[in-house]
């Protein structure tokens, strides 16, 4: 009986083993068939990996100041490409120890690691991401999606083999270390080093490199900014692997594991824009300035060299904040804009667009605020008058004039002091900002001609064709005022403000270079005479408070009738500077005139510029030479000589018309206390 039972059991076991063996063989067959099918399918979809040599990886573009500081960056992916020969060995050995110890041996796929991964899949009944070589990870970064599946694993392996055929190990490592994500928005080892340690990857030591490489399996989870303890454990794991592979000794491990890690974001990594009034202007107008589109700017790794001088920008921004803080209550003033341009080159060294740039207040008043320029616009009016035959010595009369306004009603401009000084030279009328004379001149030469002169001198905003425009009733930006003021500083040449010096591609090739265009829009003699007028403003007129000992200063004050805007526009032989103060809500200022707060800020701004730049008066030779070549030069006007008794010119250029009245209030201007004049 027992023998029969035993026989039955043996028969059953024999059948079961055969069945199991059959099932196993069947599973292997279909498994192999399935895998072969995937492989064949993947081969049909195979990518020509050699084409990536022509593929330009996305990189951050950087902006540099004239004093060689990184001041801005623009990107889709925060990445800075660094050649393999500049990546320190500390990074390379940590990567190999942590991610792929047989990197220099395998041909793209580590089959032992793959087998281990497949067993893991079977045992755990799930697909994991382990066992991928550096080359396989690169294949995933370059060509595949983050999908987790056997199908993707096989494609990954096939692409890795092709990568190894087409690229050297050094090239593969360079691509990987520049493309892989390290967390905190950092792509590539260079960006990671700046984000976590505030320095270039070239300076990474072994403990720092170990911490960064340790982040790779899950950078968002292991980030030391998120969980320092987990990041430390990952660092220790990499260091232990270095010991196992004999890259470092056990004694070195003991030293490195206690090495103090100092996390520090590079300043620019905390905020993508430093000096945002200047840099945001350039970024927003980049296409217009360089003819390079924004998409290229944020993806091609360009290097943009600005004319910004951060030293002067810092000083002037501090001057603005200090003066506003000091005078906020007494003057009811909250905002200010300053533009500083280097004469003869057009380089914009400073653009301060307000009291302080904030996320909640990004308004750049230097070019976005359209404000009435007041008497500063008289620079254009008098320039036009000089073009049409007036001279600094022409005798004019400060009296009541009545014109027919655009609405048909009488229009009679008044002076700031409600007084009329009678007969005086054109130079004195300008120096003491007599409104009646300015409108008289505009009426005499034609307001349309005044407006045309403004456009010729760089004004872009449409101006109203009314006589009140002569007194600055049409709005302009501080940048426009600085532009037309610089024309006089440059002896009649319009040099468009230059914000960008050059742009280089990622390889160092220059793809944009700023070439100054000198366009003579005002005759040399006219501009020279305007310099006479503007120097008198500072020497004895309304701009006397802007006078600087030892520096020839030229300027014009401006204050609107309703005291909502106050200006000082002027220049030295080296710099043109324009200052505006006011309030965004157009509320009135308290006793602020162009000769007070704006002149004070202007004076301090000019002195700040001369801290870093020496006088270069001989630069004007370039302008004078161009004048000689273009035969626009007659004789150089001596700025210290005036013929105040030239009444013939007055008779010749003054034509009484039906719109003028004869009522006059006489003041003996020869005894007027010029030096005390601070208003207009």
pLDDT tens digits, one per residue of 71-122: 999 999 999 999 999 999 999 999 999 999 999 999 888 877 666 666 665 5
Residues 6+ apart with CB under 8 A from 491: 524, 527, 528, 531, 620, 623, 624, 627
Q: What's the confidence (pLDDT) of residue 131?
A: 64
Q: What's the confidence (pLDDT) of residue 620?
A: 55
224: which DSSP letter? T
Cβ atoms within 10 Å of 466's Cβ, excluding its own: 18
Q: What's the confidence (pLDDT) of residue 114?
A: 62
**Predicted confidence (pLDDT) at residue 291 exceeds the cutoff of 90:** yes
What is the token pair recorded at 568? Answer: 């000082």
Dihedral sign (CA 336, 273, 368, 68): positive
* pLDDT above 90 coverage of the chain, percent: 70
577: which DSSP letter? E
- The superfamily CATH assigns to domain 314-676 is DD-peptidase/beta-lactamase superfamily (3.40.710.10)
Of 495, 487, 449, 642, whose CA–CA distance to 569 is shortest?
A: 487
Of 201, 169, 164, 208, whose CA–CA distance to 50 is shortest?
A: 164
Question: What are the C-alpha distances in Å from 417 to residues 150, 159, 498, 574?
Answer: 88, 84, 40, 34
Q: Which residue has the higher pLDDT, 383 or 675?
A: 383
Q: What's the confidence (pLDDT) of residue 515?
A: 85
- Number of Cα atoms under 13 Å in the Cβ half of residue 373: 32
Q: Which residue has the higher pLDDT, 516 or 447?
A: 447
CA torsion, points 537, 541, 542, 548, in degrees to nearest 10?
60
Contact 330, 627 (CB under 8 A): no
* pLDDT above 70 coverage of the chain, percent: 79
Per the listing, tokens 């979809």 go with: 45
How far is it, in rounded angstroms, from Cα 262 to Cα 245?
27
Mean pLDDT, to the nearest integer, of 383-401? Answer: 96
- Number of Cα atoms under 13 Å in the Cβ half of residue 656: 6
Contact 338, 320 (CB under 8 A): yes
Greatest mean pLDDT among 27-36, 261-270, 510-519, 633-642: 510-519
Q: Which residue has the higher pLDDT, 456 or 44?
A: 456
Residues 6+ apart with CB under 8 A from 340: 312, 316, 348, 349, 350, 351, 575, 576, 577, 605, 609
Of 409, 412, 485, whose CA–CA distance to 443 is shortest?
A: 412
Q: What's the confidence (pLDDT) of residue 673?
A: 33
Contact 87, 199 (CB under 8 A): no
What is the token pair recorded at 507? Answer: 């390889």
What is the token pair recorded at 539? Answer: 């020497």
What is the token pair recorded at 458? Answer: 């760089």
Contact 213, 222 (CB under 8 A): no
How far is it, in rounded angstroms, from Cα 580 to Cα 353?
10
Of 303, 82, 290, whose CA–CA distance to 202 is shortest?
A: 82
DSSP 343-384: TTT-BEEEEE-SS--BTTB---TTTS--B--GGGGHHHHHHH
**Predicted confidence (pLDDT) at residue 129 exceeds the cutoff of 50:** no
Question: How does pLDDT run across 613-631, given as a tens digit for each residue?
Answer: 987 655 555 555 455 445 4
Q: First CA to last CA across the chain, in angstroms?
A: 132
* CATH number of this structure's domain 76-270, picked from the four choices 3.40.50.2300, 2.60.260.20, 2.40.128.260, 1.10.3810.10: 1.10.3810.10
Question: How does pLDDT run across 216-273, given as a tens digit for each residue?
Answer: 999 999 999 999 999 999 999 999 999 999 999 999 999 999 999 999 988 777 678 8
**Predicted confidence (pLDDT) at residue 20 exceeds the cutoff of 70:** no
Mean pLDDT, to the nearest integer, of 140-166? Answer: 80
Question: How does pLDDT run across 478-490, given as a tens digit for each residue?
Answer: 999 999 999 999 9
Mean pLDDT, to the nearest integer, of 421-440? Answer: 96
181: which DSSP letter? B
**Predicted confidence (pLDDT) at residue 2 exceeds the cutoff of 80:** no
Residues 6+ apart with CB under 8 A from 163: 49, 108, 135, 138, 139, 172
Reduced to 3 states, what is the DSSP secondary structure of residue 187? strand
Residues 6+ apart with CB under 8 A from 670: none
Q: What's the confidence (pLDDT) of residue 632?
A: 41
How far is it, in rounded angstroms, from Cα 625 to Cα 442?
32
Contact 80, 321 (CB under 8 A): no
Question: How does pLDDT run across 24-70, given as a tens digit for each residue?
Answer: 655 555 455 455 555 555 444 556 667 777 777 889 999 999 999 99
- Strands 575-582 and 565-571 turn out to be antiparallel
Mean pLDDT, to the nearest integer, of 386-412? Answer: 93
Q: CA-based angle 550:577:65, to the nearest 5?
A: 105
How far is it, in rounded angstroms, from Cα 61 to Cα 70?
11
Q: What's the confidence (pLDDT) of residue 142?
A: 87
Question: What are the C-alpha distances in Å from 330 to residues 72, 110, 319, 324, 442?
Answer: 37, 76, 17, 10, 36
Q: What's the confidence (pLDDT) of residue 8?
A: 56
How high does pLDDT run on average in the chain?
85
What is the token pair recorded at 582? Answer: 């006011």
Give Dmax over CA atoms of the chain in angstroms. 151
Domain boundaries of the chain, sorted by first residue: 7-45, 76-270, 314-676
How far is it, in rounded angstroms, from Cα 344 to Cα 151?
66
What is the token pair recorded at 384? Answer: 């036009």
Cβ atoms within 10 Å of 81's Cβ, excluding its own: 19
How far is it, in rounded angstroms, from Cα 389 to Cα 78?
60
Beginning with the edge strand found earlier in the chain, give each strand of the sheet holding 554-559 in spatial order. Answer: 348-352, 335-342, 575-582, 565-571, 554-559
**Predicted confidence (pLDDT) at residue 512 exceeds the cutoff of 60:** yes
């Amino acid at each position: 009986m027992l023998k029969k039972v035993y026989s039955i059991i043996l028969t059953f076991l024999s059948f079961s083993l055969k069945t199991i063996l059959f099932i196993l063989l069947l599973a292997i067959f279909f498994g192999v068939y399935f895998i072969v099918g995937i492989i064949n399918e993947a081969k049909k979809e195979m990518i020509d990996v050699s084409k990536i040599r022509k593929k330009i990886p996305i990189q951050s573009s950087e902006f540099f100041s004239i004093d060689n500081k990184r001041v801005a960056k623009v990107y889709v992916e925060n990445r800075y490409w660094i050649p393999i020969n500049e990546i320190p060995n500390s990074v390379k050995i940590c990567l190999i120890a942590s991610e792929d110890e047989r990197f220099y041996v395998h041909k793209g796929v580590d089959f032992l690691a793959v087998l281990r991964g497949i067993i893991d899949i079977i045992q755990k009944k799930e697909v994991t991401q382990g066992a991928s070589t550096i080359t396989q990870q690169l294949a995933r970064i370059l060509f595949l999606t983050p999908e987790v599946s056997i199908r993707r694993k096989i494609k990954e392996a096939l692409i890795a083999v092709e990568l190894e055929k087409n690229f050297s190990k050094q090239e593969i490592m360079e691509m990987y270390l520049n493309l892989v994500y390290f967390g905190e928005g950092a792509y590539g080892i260079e960006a990671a080093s700046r984000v976590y340690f505030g320095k270039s990857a070239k300076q990474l030591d072994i403990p720092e490199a170990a911490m960064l490489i340790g982040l790779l399996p899950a950078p968002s989870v292991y980030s030391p900014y998120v969980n320092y303890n987990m990041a430390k454990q990952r660092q220790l794991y990499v260091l232990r692997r270095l010991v196992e592979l004999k890259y470092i000794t056990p004694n070195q491990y003991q030293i490195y594991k206690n090495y103090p890690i100092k996390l520090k974001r590079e300043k620019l990594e905390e905020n993508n824009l430093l000096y945002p009034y200047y840099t945001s202007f350039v970024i927003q107008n980049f296409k217009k300035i360089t003819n390079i589109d924004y998409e290229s700017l944020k993806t091609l790794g360009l290097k943009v060299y600005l004319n910004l001088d951060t030293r002067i920008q810092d000083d002037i921004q501090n001057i603005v904040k200090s003066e506003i803080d000091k005078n906020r209550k007494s003057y009811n003033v909250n905002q200010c804009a300053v533009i500083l341009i280097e004469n003869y080159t057009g380089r914009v060294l400073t653009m301060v667009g307000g009291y302080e740039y904030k996320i909640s207040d990004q308004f750049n008043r230097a070019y976005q605020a359209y404000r009435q320029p007041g008497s500063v616009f008289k620079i254009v009016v008098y320039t036009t008058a000089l073009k049409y035959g007036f001279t600094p010595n022409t005798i004019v009369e400060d009296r009541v004039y009545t014109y027919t306004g655009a609405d048909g009603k009488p229009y009679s401009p008044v002076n700031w002091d409600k007084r009329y000084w009678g007969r005086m030279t054109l130079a004195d009328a300008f120096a003491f900002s007599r409104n009646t004379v300015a409108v008289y001149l505009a009426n005499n030469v034609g307001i349309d001609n005044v407006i045309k002169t403004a456009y010729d001198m760089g004004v872009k905003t449409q101006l109203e064709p009314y006589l009140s425009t002569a007194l600055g009733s049409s709005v302009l930006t501080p940048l426009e005022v600085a532009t037309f003021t610089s024309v006089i500083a440059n002896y009649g040449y319009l040099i468009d403000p230059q914000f960008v010096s050059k742009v280089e591609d990622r390889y160092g090739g220059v793809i944009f270079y700023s070439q100054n265009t000198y366009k003579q829009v005002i005759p040399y003699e006219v501009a020279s005479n305007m310099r006479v007028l503007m120097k008198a403003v500072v020497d004895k007129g309304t701009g006397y408070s802007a006078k600087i000992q030892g520096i020839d200063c030229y300027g014009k004050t401006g204050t609107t009738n309703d005291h909502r805007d106050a200006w000082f526009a002027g220049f030295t032989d080296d710099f043109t500077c324009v200052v505006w103060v006011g309030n965004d809500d157009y509320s009135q200022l308290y006793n602020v005139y162009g000769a007070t707060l704006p002149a004070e800020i202007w004076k301090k701004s000019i002195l700040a510029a001369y801290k870093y730049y020496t006088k270069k008066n001989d630069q004007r030779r370039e302008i004078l030479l161009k004048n000689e070549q273009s035969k626009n030069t007659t004789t150089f006007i001596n700025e210290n000589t005036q013929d105040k008794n030239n009444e013939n010119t007055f008779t010749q250029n003054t034509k009484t018309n039906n719109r003028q009245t004869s009522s006059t209030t006489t003041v003996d201007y020869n005894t007027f206390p010029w030096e005390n004049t601070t208003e207009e």
